[in-house]
Amino acid sequence: MNLAGTSCEKGATSGQEAGRGAPLFFGTAALLFVAATVVTILSCASMTTMSAVPMAGGWLLSGIWLPLCGQSWLETAACFLGMWLTMMVAMMLPSLIPVLWRYRLAAVEAGACRPGQLAALAGTGYFIIWTGFGLLVFLVGAALAQAAMQFHSLGRLGPAAGALIVLIAGLSQFSDWKAQRLTDCGGGSGALPARPGATGAVRTGAALGLRCCMSCAGPMAVLIAGGLMDLRLMLCVTLAVTAERLLPPKSRIASATGVVMAATGLLSLVQALG
C-alpha cells in the first residue's frame, strides 16, 4: 500500500514511530464507539414510546417508516438517516478499526505528514457510503410501508415476506459471492487501494464501504426485516458481522450464521403460512 503524494518526504520509519499515535487513535475510536452505542440505545428506547401501526396479518408497522404528527417526509428521512448513521458507527466500527489502523501504519511508512487524519478521512468515506445505503433502505421501506397501509391484501403478506427475506439472506451466506465480498472487505492486502492525498483517502474509504455494504447485505437484511430498532437483534448482527470480517476464513463464521438465519427464516415462513 503506497500513499505517496503527500507533502512530507518518505523515509524509513521505526516501529516506535509507527505506534506513536496508537493511544490517540484507539482512544478516539473507543470514545466514538461508546458515544454511538449510547445514542443508539437511547434511540431504541425512545422508539418504544412511538405508536406502531397495527397491520392486517397481525403484525405492527414501526413508526420509523412514517412521518410523525406534523412532520414532513424530508424531516422523517433526516431523522432516519441520523439514527441509521449512529447505528452503523456502533455496529461497524469494531471491525473497521483494525483496517484503518493498518491504513495508518502504511501512511506512516510512506512518509505521510498526518497519517491519523488520512485514516479519519478514510473512515469518513466509509460511513458516507453506509449513509447512502441507509437512504436507499429508507426509500424502499417507506414505499413498502405506504403500500402495505393502502392495500390490506399486501399488508397481510408482511410476516411471510419478512420470513422469506431472512431465509434468502441465510442461504446467501453460503454463496461464493459472499465469500468473495468478505475477502474484499476483510482489510487484507489490497483492501485499501493506494490513493494520495485527502481526497484519495476519502475515495479509499468509500470503496471499502461499498464492498462492506455488499458483504453485510445478508445480516443487514435480517436486521431490517426482523426489526431495525431491536437491540438484541442488532447486537447479534453486530457480533456476526464483526466475527466474519475479523476471524480467519477457515472458521466459517459466515456459514454458521447462515445456518441460524436460514433456519429462523424457514421456521418463521412455516408459521406465517400456517
* Residue 107: predicted pLDDT: 84
Give domain status of residue 117, yes or no. Answer: yes
Q: Hey, how many other C-beta atoms are within 10 angstroms of the C-beta on 274?
A: 5
**Angular region, 170: left φ>0, alpha ψ -120 to 50, beta rest:** alpha
Q: Is the pLDDT of residue 87 over 70?
A: yes
Q: Which of 180-194, 199-213, 254-268 has the lowest mean pLDDT?
A: 180-194
pLDDT tens digits for 101-119?
988 888 888 777 888 899 9
Helices (H) and strands (E) in the chain, counts: 11, 2
Please report, rounded to a whole number, the percentage of residues in the chain having pLDDT higher than 70.
88
Q: Is the pLDDT of residue 78 over 80?
A: yes
Looking only at the bridges linking them, the beta strands covering 59-61 and 53-55 are antiparallel
Residue partners of 218: CB distance under 8 A and separation at least 6: 169, 170, 172, 173, 178, 258, 261
The model's confidence at residue 98, banded by pLDDT at 50, 70 and 90, is very high
Per-residue pLDDT at 196: 64
Q: Which domain holds residue 265?
A: 17-273
Please indicate, yes or no, if residue 1 is contained in any of the structural domains: no
pLDDT of residue 51: 66
Residue 83 lies in a domain: yes
pLDDT digits (tens, 9 = 90+) for 144-171: 999 988 888 888 899 999 999 999 999 9
pLDDT score at 155:
85
pTM of the entire predicted model:
0.88
Q: Inform me whether the pLDDT recorded for 92 exceeds 90.
A: yes
Which one-letter DSSP state was computed for residue 13?
A: -
Contacts of 3 (CB under 8 A, 6+ apart): 106, 107, 110, 112, 118, 194, 195, 196, 200
Report if residue 11 sits inside a domain.
no
Per the structure, how many domains does the chain have? 1
Mean pLDDT computed over 167-196: 75
- For residue 9, tell me if it sits in a domain: no
Domain annotation covers residue 165: yes
Give pLDDT tens digits for 13-62.
Answer: 445 555 677 889 999 999 999 999 999 999 888 776 566 788 877 888 88
pLDDT digits 0-9 by tens, 120-137: 999 999 999 999 999 999
Question: Which DSSP string corresponds to 23-53?
Answer: HHHHHHHHHHHHHHHHHHHHHHHHHTTSPPE
Average pLDDT over residues 205-209: 93
Q: Tally the C-alpha atoms within 13 A of residue 156's C-alpha that lie toward its C-beta.
A: 4
Predicted confidence at residue 152, as pLDDT, reads 85
Closest of 33, 54, 34, 36 to residue 44, by C-alpha: 36
Question: Which pLDDT score is estimated for 195?
Answer: 62
Is residue 10 a part of any domain in this protein? no
Q: Which residue has the cell 482512544?
A: 27
pLDDT band (50, 70, 90) for residue 231: very high
Residue 150 resides in a domain: yes
Q: Which residues contact 21 (CB under 8 A, 6 or more apart)?
A: 104, 115, 116
